[in-house]
Structure 1
Amino acid sequence: MNFEERIDIKAPTEVVFALYSDVDRWASWDPDVKSSSIHGAFATGSIGRLKPTKGPEAKIVFSEVIPLKSFTVQSKLPLCMMQFEHELATTAMGTTALHRVSFSGFLAPIFGRLIGKQIRKGLPKTMAGLKRAAESC
């Protein structure tokens, strides 16, 4: 199960990526994040923590970080992996951001319905917050 949301942002890719890489401040533009942190650099293999506004704090792993292009975060659930992909593309007007959420593993259908429903509902607000933050820089 997966779903995605895309938004056009009138800001350079560097500005949007800087918001992504400032993990401690994700809550300033993402209304579904209460707190977030990273141990070390914003790089592949780093580990962090994320506390959603609804739900328990979770360990996150930055499974892939490609500067100015994308990053992927994974979080383990019982018999399931939840993955958040964030992709940027430069456009004539600025940047297109794409956020994709997927669930895999034995309990993916259950977590996809339980957690995925809430994430899907909040994703447009997250994208709007990213756009506002980037365009106000």
Structure 2
Amino acid sequence: MANYSYEHSVEGPATVAAVWALWSDVSRWTEWDEGLESVTLSGPFAEGASGTMVVKGQGPIAFTLTSVTDSGFVDETSVPGALLRFSHHVEPVDGGVRVTHSVVIEGPAAQEFGPVVTADLPDAVAALVKLAC
């Protein structure tokens, strides 16, 4: 089984609390990720919660929060041929925060999906940090 992985970090003068406010309110994900039309979550932003995101030009995609900690969260999405695991991490640094988003894709379609899924990741992370400032 071929895997694909990608990671990108951005530092900025935001606070951990400001980043968390944007992460935990999934309806605001469209403000920093231009590839999304909408995001909903059934229940609180906690491990085990599930939701739906609509990626521009595609139909709804289900996701589940598989981990939520003080420093970040992980969400997983299963599509035919691949399991996509998105990790989001924030840590304080001198002058602000470092936000890291990473993606691991497992399955026979991993190499096909990887470049498409991660193409706008640097822009999304930069927009998140900018919005959190």
Aligned AA (2:80): P
The partner residue of 2:99 within 94, 97, 122 is 97
SS at match of 2:51: strand
Question: Cα offset for 1:8?
Answer: 0.2
**SS of the counterpart of 2:45?**
coil
CA spacing shift, 1:118–1:57, aligned 2, 3 Å = same
TM-score (norm 1): 0.89
So what's the TM-score if we normalise by structure 2? 0.91
Question: Are the aligned partners of 2:41 and 2:50 in contact in 1 as well (CA < 8 Å)?
Answer: yes
Ranges of 4+ aligned residues in structure 1 off by more than 4 Å: none
For 1:133, what is the secondary structure of its paired residue? helix
Unaligned runs of at least 5 residues, structure 2: none
1:43 and 2:46 equivalent? Answer: yes
Q: 1:120 aligns with which of 113, 118, 121?
A: 118
Contact 1:84-1:101 within 8 A present in 2 as well: yes
Q: Any idea what SS the aligned residue of 2:120 has?
A: helix
Amino acid at match of 1:98: T
Native 8 Å contact 2:74 2:88 kept in 1: yes
- The correspondence for 1:18, drawn from 9, 16, 21, is 21
Q: Which amino acid aligns with 1:71?
A: F
Cα distance change on mapping 1:80 and 1:73 into 2, 3 Å: same
Q: Name the aligned partner's letter for residue 39 of structure 1.
A: S
CA contact (8 A) 1:31 1:129 kept: no
Counterpart of 1:59 in structure 2: which amino acid?
A
User: Percent identity among equivalent residues?
Assistant: 25
Contact 1:89–1:96 (CA under 8 A) maintained in structure 2: yes
Q: How many residues align?
A: 130
Alignment partner, residue 129 of structure 2: 131
